[in-house]
C-alpha cells in the first residue's frame, strides 16, 4: 500500500464540513481538525501511487473551501512503523 500524509488549510469556519466530506472517502484512514499551523490532518492509503494521485487531484483538492495542501510522501526505506 502507498501512503501520503496531507496537511490542509481551509476557509475558516468550514473545518467541520470539510472533515465530514473527507470522512466519506474510503481511502482516507485518518482525518482530524488540528490546532497549530495547519487546519486539518489527513492520512490516505491506496494500492498504487496512481490511485493516490487520482484521489488527491480529483477528490481531496476539489472539495469546496479547501485552500491549500502540503503533502508528505513517506520514504519507506528509512524504516519506522
Give the closest residue to 7 by CA, choosing from 75, 81, 63, 60.
Answer: 60
Does residue 13 interact with a second copy by CB under 8 A?
Answer: yes
The span from the CA of 18 to the CA of 34, in Å, is: 13
Contact (Cβ atoms closer than 8 angstroms) between residue 22 and residue 60 = yes
Residues in the chain: 81
The span from the CA of 65 to the CA of 27, in Å, is: 21
List binders of a second copy among 38-67 (CB under 8 A). Answer: 38, 40-41, 49-50, 53-54, 56-57, 61-62, 66-67
Does residue 81 interact with a second copy by CB under 8 A?
Answer: yes
Closer to a second copy by CB, 31 or 46: give it.
Answer: 31
Note the residues at the interface with a second copy (CB under 8 A).
Answer: 3-5, 7, 9, 12-13, 15-16, 19-20, 22-23, 30-38, 40-41, 49-50, 53-54, 56-57, 61-62, 66-81
Amino acid at each position: 500500500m502507498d501512503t501520503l500524509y496531507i496537511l490542509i488549510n481551509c476557509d475558516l469556519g468550514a473545518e467541520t464540513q470539510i472533515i465530514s466530506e473527507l470522512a466519506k472517502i474510503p481511502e482516507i484512514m485518518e482525518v482530524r481538525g488540528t490546532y497549530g499551523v495547519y487546519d486539518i490532518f489527513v492520512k490516505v492509503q491506496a494500492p498504487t501511487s496512481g490511485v493516490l494521485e487520482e484521489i488527491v487531484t480529483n477528490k481531496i483538492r476539489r472539495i469546496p473551501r479547501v485552500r491549500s495542501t502540503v503533502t508528505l510522501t513517506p520514504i519507506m526505506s528509512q524504516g519506522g512503523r
